[in-house]
Amino acid sequence: MHEMALAESMLEIVEQTARRSGAARVTAVWLELGALSHVEPDALRFCFDAVTRGSVADAARLTIVATEGQAWCMPCGEAVPLARRGEPCPRCGSYQLNVTQGEDMRVKEIEIA
Ligand SMILES: [Zn+2]
């Protein structure tokens, strides 16, 4: 499962950050998730709960913040917002788009105790 691998790499980042700050426990995690990433937020949440069990982030609250997708439209010659992959340019209707933002995820912040 794709989300399981992502949850594991999230936990790694969270554990490293907690260790650096000398924290005994992580109580909350904020994650930025691109609108165009192939990640199911509910599945990721489920996996995060599973991998953090017994770790420093056991029972930590996960908040997923969606970040907007963006693409470069060739005909328009500018960056346009893109709600979902496979959709045309909202300005000119062209499908000649290069996704430039919104495909990745990032641990934005953690709350420690
Ligand atoms: Zn366009």
Q: Kindly report, residue by residue over 67-92, the tens digit of the pLDDT.
A: 999 999 999 999 999 998 899 999 99
What value does the mean pLDDT take over residues 11-33?
96
Measured in Å, residue 67 CA sits from the centre of ligand 1 at 21
Buried b (16+ CB within 10 A) or exposed e, 20-42: eeebeebeebebbbbbbbebeee
Q: What's the pLDDT at 2?
A: 87
Measured in Å, residue 71 CA sits from the centre of ligand 1 at 9
Per residue in 31-60, pLDDT (tens digit) is 999 999 989 999 999 999 999 999 999 999
Measured in Å, residue 1 CA sits from the centre of ligand 1 at 35
pTM over 0.85: no
